[in-house]
Structures are given as C-alpha cells and as structure tokens.
Amino acid sequence: MAIIERHTSPDNSLVLLVDVTDGDWTIGFDGCPWHTHGDILDAWGYDGSPESRARRFVDDILQSRRVIAVIRMDGRVTDIVVPDDLMHRPLSKHFGKYAPLNETMEFRYWNGIPAAE
C-alpha cells in the first residue's frame, strides 16, 4: 500500500486516502471498507487514464460536488461511501432498504453541509 495523498475534511470527521500500488489508483476513507479504483470510474462518467479519472473524482469530493454517505451502527461509523448519484436516488430509500434498525445514515458533502435528497 502506497498512500500518496491524505485529505482531512474541514470538520475533521473524514479522512480521504488516495493510494497507488503497482499503477492501481485506489480511493477510499481511512478505516472504512468502501473504496473505488481509477480504472472503473468510467462507469461514473469520468474519462481518460485511471490516474486522471481518480484525480477528477478526488477533486469532486474535495470540492463538495459528490455526496458522501456516513453509515453508523449504534452511533459508531462503520463505513463511508460515495454513492453513484444516478443509481442511488433517493439516497435514503436505496441505502436504508435492507438496513438494520440500529443503522443510521448521514448524507453530506466534504465541507460538512448536509446533502438534500
């Protein structure tokens, strides 16, 4: 694992990591299982090389142009996900469909502003 970037949100609640290992660009949140790869971001509307896709995706997160879902179980963060806007609307309906009763979801932007459904 070769983390080349570490970004902390303005409210210090999120840490976004960018890793490049053997040419594989991986983006995810510190301590959370969700992640994505630069070579598959074309499915999200990003074009170019895996590096340029990853760069634009990270920039969109950091500029608060992508919604972030913070998932908690009994109040403890268990995952942080960047949902695909086209597939996951409305957000709460999609993510909450099979959620346990003690799981909650917060939809927000990097800058801390809550995301509208």
Structure confidence by residue, pLDDT tens digits, 19-76? 999 999 999 999 999 999 999 999 989 999 999 999 999 999 999 999 999 999 998 9
Q: What is the token pair recorded at 31? A: 């301590």
Unique residue bearing structure tokens 């760069």: 55
Instruction: Give the pLDDT band of residue 105 (cuts 50, 70, 90).
Output: confident
Whole-angstrom distance, CA of residue 14 vs CA of residue 43: 25
Whole-angstrom distance, CA of residue 109 vs CA of residue 91: 13
pTM, two decimal places: 0.87
State the burial class of residue 81 (Cβ atoms within 10 Å of its Cβ: 0-12, 13-18, 19+): buried
What is the structure's pLDDT at 86? 47
